[in-house]
A and B are shown apart, each in its own frame.
Chain A
């Protein structure tokens, strides 16, 4: 049988998902179902002086109304689960519903449960709230300045934490370096925009005390744990099911007040409760991404050797610290300041800052795009400063393969990598030298072409649990699997982690089918229900295949070892004399006497003739905890044309050479890369969440928040190198986020290259026509 590992078979979940036969949270219907709608603050910052819900309570078809005062002593405030060490992190209480003060436009104020969604929505308008508006502050840098309005009395200057990363002697490096470049960079706030908004259905059985929550979660076991804490219910009485989930991009990691309040309302009313977010609500309250103001500098020598990097970063957290928020701009960001380069001296200071805006948490790439972007922008600026080609400077400073595994100045050790090969491959595909000549010619004809080259690496496959504990992550980061073989030889795999669009039902099944020599149709992947699956930690940080896939592989190997022992017993042979060939264990030299996987499944499950001391059945579980993170890498190159008269950017070509080790399913790998790149292109050219100075989300709908469309994109040319990781049995590295991590910097670099003759070195993304045009006008010494 041909192996499935490495085969780009079609995603087995797609027929279900694209023909409307999937089951998403909003599809869950229960007898007696009621509907929840939230009243959310219209103000970014205000004292609540009065809430009167009497009219809403007596409105037709209203089942119950809850306010902050009703729940504040009944429920534990929304926790933050990443307590980064070595900082002064302050996490003020995050009430499930505001009762004294609202801190962003969208902060929950009351919850109406209705017999219908429309009735609950109508009753919202009957709630009378008096607000005493306070000043808003939406910019993370301005929020730290004297006189800025304070969100939380106990957090001076709105600074939630000051976190420092340091390696080598950056001060000396900058003092002694002949060349220094610096830049203020704004990494704009982004809206994750998963196709499916969030939803929750909660059902409480008064008889058994059992709570069931269907939730659009990327990590149902984390939801189970935190819901049990917040609701003060025993964890084994809480079952969380995340059925089909339509994308997350980080927005469905956090535990929100919304689903917990749905649980509480179900418990209090004795009726199941459904809450479904619409897009406007999603944009207001589901966690946002990025939102950094960065002051960054790089130093080096005139021959192009980078000697130091320094940052001062104001990372917006929004109004409250969301579940993973403190870890994103620190552990997942600052520790990656060396990028793919040897930078001996690094110093970074990150301020986590509360602002009167929606909470900010992980968004595809989570901290690493913000790191890659600043590093790559600086390498470009440094190259231009010393008059060397951006490629030559990169090549000079990339960590050579021979030095792997390599410990960077920030203290982490890259598992593997071959950066030069990826760079050279990408340069060859675009024919870089030829392009530089074409660029000059085009310029003579009035065309502004530009090329952007980015060599990235990133940290993912999160990660060793011991490290998780050491960096303050409130959970483990191992993964788990149970492989259960049925008497007929078909297999169910219960996975601790779960997909929300990544195609894991296919990838995981490929691993198992290969191991047992059975058709993929005989393997079912079960995930998302905490009742049936072992403890897992979820899909984020490009970890599910590297960690969860490895757990599955190891559990399958345990099953196979047992099957082999049983085969030896049944064949009356020595185990050492058996070989696994064509889906059978047989004695070497007499293949006709073999026992197939199906034979062994039956014999094990009936238990008629087991070896002495061997338990019947064929089942194994595994908990895999990797020894290190994985570090995928690659080189992305984009070619753009800028029309100076209008500022329009046309993306002509995008070449990506990525390395995530061996591919289990090359088609899925390519899809993940395409999706990631597209989101990075969105970040580079279109997407920007804008709050007005008084804290209103101006880009509150898709009429104002621009995500990329197929018609705006070029054919993405995907190419690969294959460097296996030594830290997991599959050798694989995560690929869900790499595309996003490399691409935003790549596009901005290309546009700045196209406009180099204007003296333009940097434009903050997104590079909308308006911004590009303004930069050109400014460079020309125009009115702006």
Chain B
């Protein structure tokens, strides 16, 4: 469990970090280190240099932005949980983050680090998909924004180029009167999701007019938006509607199978989690 030799620098500024990335010399960014360090200790990753951006103020903070939120990439999970804005406005994120790993990991792990790592079973990609969040990226050459749906391109792969860095996450406001929820079934050892569902349900006079549901842990290629959520639109989210929508939770998806959950069980959990998350979000709407 000893990583290969590497250099370490602590970035003094955002520009410092972007300059380091622009060299494209095998440097990797590190903030909380809870995804990267284990990979390095297993020698599954051997970056020549770590550029520590964990201390950069530019990457910190949670603030209200047009009734939505801007979340700095180096914000820790702990800071998300401590934010009244997140707790009140985005229960789906609050619920998901409370279930991430343990206290120590939440104290150090960063939301941006987890998103950039794009583990196909991690919670935040599903939350970002359901919320329709946007990732702000920067490189020495410039900046751009990428919607969550385009950002997560595969297992451990994102739309970020080698010299790009995730700066913050822009979460749009929930549709008026919408409720949100997160339901997860965890693998007992790792705590990662066997199947977890993030749901945002908007209603107008008891009729569903917005249904954004994302699922993680199920597909090898990572979190995805559940197409059958569309079946909820125009319904009262009654039992029959919940059944119909959740029945399609893994439609068209190649479902993971491993020692913890064979594919049929995982697909079943996805349906159960979808039904429960939608029902809970709907009850909060």
A: which residues have CB within 8 A of B?
A: 117-118, 121-122, 278-280, 645-647, 686, 688, 690, 698-699, 702-707, 768-770, 773-774, 783-784
In the bound complex, CA of A769 to CA of B266 (Å): 11
- Residues of chain B contacted by A703 (CB below 8 angstroms): 189-190, 192
Q: Is the CB of B5 within 8 A of A122?
A: yes
Nearest 10 A/B pairs, CB to CB: A706-B188, A706-B189, A278-B1, A703-B190, A121-B2, A770-B265, A770-B261, A690-B259, A118-B2, A686-B188
**B58 contacts the other chain (Cβ, under 8 Å)?**
no
Interchain CB contact (< 8 A) of B188 among A690, A768, A774: A768
A769 x B185 contact (CB < 8 A): yes
Min CB–CB distance A297 → chain B (angstroms): 30
B4 engages A122 (CB within 8 Å): yes
Task: Say what secondary structure dominates the interface of chain A.
Answer: loop
Q: How distant is the Cα of A686 from the Cα of B186 in the complex, in angstroms? A: 12
Closest to A647 in B: B265
- Could you tell me the distance between the alpha carbons of A619 and B1 in the complex, rounded to whole angstroms? 48
Is residue B129 contacting chain A, with contact meaning CB distance below 8 A? Answer: no
Query: Is B10 interfacial (CB 8 A cutoff)?
Result: no
A280 with B264: CB separation less than 8 A: no
Chain B, residues 1-30, CB within 8 Å of chain A (1/0): the string is: 110110000000000000000000000000
Q: Tell me if B260 counts as interface (CB < 8 A to partner A).
A: yes
Cα distance, A784 to B189, chains bound together (Å): 25
Given contacts A122-B4, A773-B268, 13 further A-B contacts (CB under 8 A): A118-B5, A122-B5, A280-B1, A646-B185, A646-B269, A646-B272, A686-B188, A704-B260, A706-B189, A768-B188, A770-B260, A770-B262, A770-B265
Q: Could you count the A-B residue pairs with CB atoms below 8 Å apart for me: how many are there?
A: 49
Q: What separation, in Å, do the CA atoms of A279 and B5 have in the docked complex?
A: 21
Task: Mark interface residues in B175-186 (1 if CB within 8 Å of A CB, else 0).
Answer: 000000000010
Complex-state Cα separation, A706 to B268, whole angstroms: 22
In angstroms, how far is the closest chain A Cβ from the Cβ of B212?
24
Which residues on A sit within 8 Å (CB–CB) of B268? Answer: 773
Could you tell me which B residues sit within 8 Å of A by CB distance?
1-2, 4-5, 42, 185, 187-190, 192, 259-262, 264-265, 268-269, 272
On chain A, the residues within 8 Å of B1 by CB distance are: 278-280
Enumerate chain B residues within 8 angstroms of A783, measured Cβ to Cβ: 264
What's the nearest-Cβ distance from chain A to residue B230, in Å?
25
19 contacts across the A-B interface (CB closer than 8 A): A117-B2, A279-B1, A646-B272, A647-B265, A686-B189, A688-B259, A699-B259, A702-B189, A703-B189, A703-B192, A704-B189, A705-B189, A706-B188, A706-B189, A768-B188, A770-B261, A770-B262, A770-B265, A774-B262
Contact of A698 (CB < 8 Å), options: B5, B259, B261, B262: B259
* Chain A positions within 8 Å of B189 at CB level: 686, 699, 702-707
A773: chain B residues within 8 A (beta carbon):
265, 268
Min CB distance, A688 to chain B, in Å? 8
Query: In the complex, A176 Cα to B209 Cα: how many Å?
Result: 72
Distance A703 CA – B268 CA, assembled complex (angstroms)? 23
CA A647 to CA B185, docked complex, whole Å: 11
For residue A647, which residues in chain B have a CB less than 8 angstroms away from its CB? 265
Chain B residue with minimal CB distance to A280? B1
Roughly how many angstroms separate A557 CA and B1 CA in the complex, as a whole number? 51
Tell whether A704 pairs with B5 under 8 Å between CB atoms, given A646-B272, A773-B268, A774-B265.
no
Among the listed B42, B259, B265, which residue makes an inter-chain contact with A704, where contact means beta carbons less than 8 Å apart? B259
Smallest Cβ-Cβ distance to B259: which chain A residue = A690
Task: Please give, as numbers and ranges, the residues of chain A lying within 8 Å of B188 by CB-CB distance.
Answer: 686, 706, 768
Q: Contacting A645 at CB < 8 Å: which of B4, B5, B272?
A: B272
- Report the minimal beta-carbon distance from B278 to chain A, rounded to whole angstroms: 16
Q: Residues of B contacting A118 with CB < 8 Å?
A: 2, 5
For the complex, give the distance between the alpha carbons of A764 and B264 in Å.
19
Q: Give the complex CA separation of A187 and B4 in angstroms.
A: 39
- What separation, in Å, do the CA atoms of A140 and B259 have in the docked complex? 19
Q: Which residue of B lies closest to A279 (CB)?
A: B1
Q: Smallest Cβ distance from A600 to chain B, in angstroms?
A: 54
The residue in chain B whose Cβ has the minimal distance to the Cβ of A777 is B264
> With A and B bound together, what is the CA distance between A703 and B189 in angstroms?
5
Cβ contacts under 8 Å, A706 to chain B: 187-189
Instruction: Establish whether residues A704 and B190, one from each chain, have CB atoms under 8 Å apart when the complex forms.
Output: yes
CB distance from A783 to the nearest CB of B (A): 7
> A117 to chain B: which residues have CB within 8 Å?
2
Residues from chain A with Cβ under 8 Å of B4 in the complex: 122
Q: Which of B2, B5, B260, B264 contacts A784 (CB 8 A)?
A: B264
What is the CA–CA distance of A783 and B4 in the complex, to the nearest angstrom? 48
Chain A residues with CB under 8 Å of B265's CB are: 647, 769-770, 773-774
- Specify the chain A residue showing the minimal Cβ separation from B189: A706
Of all chain A residues, the one with the shortest Cβ separation from B262 is: A770
**Residue of A at shortest CB range from B260?**
A770
**In the bound complex, CA of A753 to CA of B264 (Å):** 25
Complex formed: what's the CA distance from A706 to B262 in Å? Answer: 17
Measured in the bound complex, the distance between the Cα atoms of B192 and A686 in whole Å is: 15
Q: Which residues on A sit within 8 Å (CB–CB) of B259?
A: 688, 690, 698-699, 704
Give complex CA distance A707, B190 in Å: 10
**Chain A nearest Cβ from B99, distance in angstroms:** 12
Closest residue of chain A to B191, judged by CB?
A703
Bound complex: CA A121 to CA B264 (Å): 42
Cα A784 to Cα B264 in complex, Å, equals 9
Q: In angstroms, how far is the closest chain A Cβ from the Cβ of B248?
A: 18
Distance of A93 Cα from B204 Cα, bound (Å): 77
Most buried by A among B264, B265, B269: B265
Bound Cα distance from A784 to B263, whole angstroms:
12
Tell me which residues across on chain B come within 8 A of A768, comparing CB atoms. Answer: 188, 260
Look across to chain B and name the residue whose beta carbon is closest to the beta carbon of A692. Answer: B259
- Distance A702 CA – B143 CA, assembled complex (angstroms): 39
Shortest CB distance B138–A (Å): 32
In whole Å, how far is B102's beta carbon from the nearest beta carbon of chain A? 9
Min Cβ gap B283→A in Å is 19
With both beta carbons as reference points, the residue of chain A lying nearest to B275 in the complex is identified as: A645
Residues from chain B with Cβ under 8 Å of A699 in the complex: 189, 259
**Which partner residue on chain B sits nearest A772 by CB separation?**
B265
Residues of A with C-beta under 8 A to B261:
770
Q: Cα distance A699–B258 when bound, in Å?
A: 11
Residue of B whose beta carbon sits closest to that of A276: B1
* Chain B residue at minimum C-beta to C-beta distance from A702: B189
When C-beta atoms are compared, the residue in chain B nearest to A766 turns out to be B188
Chain B contacts for A707, CB-based, 8 A: 189
Q: How far is the CA of A280 from the CA of B38 in the complex (A)?
A: 12
Alpha-carbon distance between A784 and B265 when the two chains are bound, in angstroms: 10
Shortest beta-carbon distance from B270 to chain A in Å: 11
Report the Cα distance A699→B188, complex, angstroms: 12
Chain A residues closer than 8 Å to B187, beta-carbon distance: 706
Please give the distance in Å from B268's CB to the nearest CB on chain A: 7
Give the distance in Å from the alpha carbon of A783 to the alpha carbon of B268 in the complex: 13
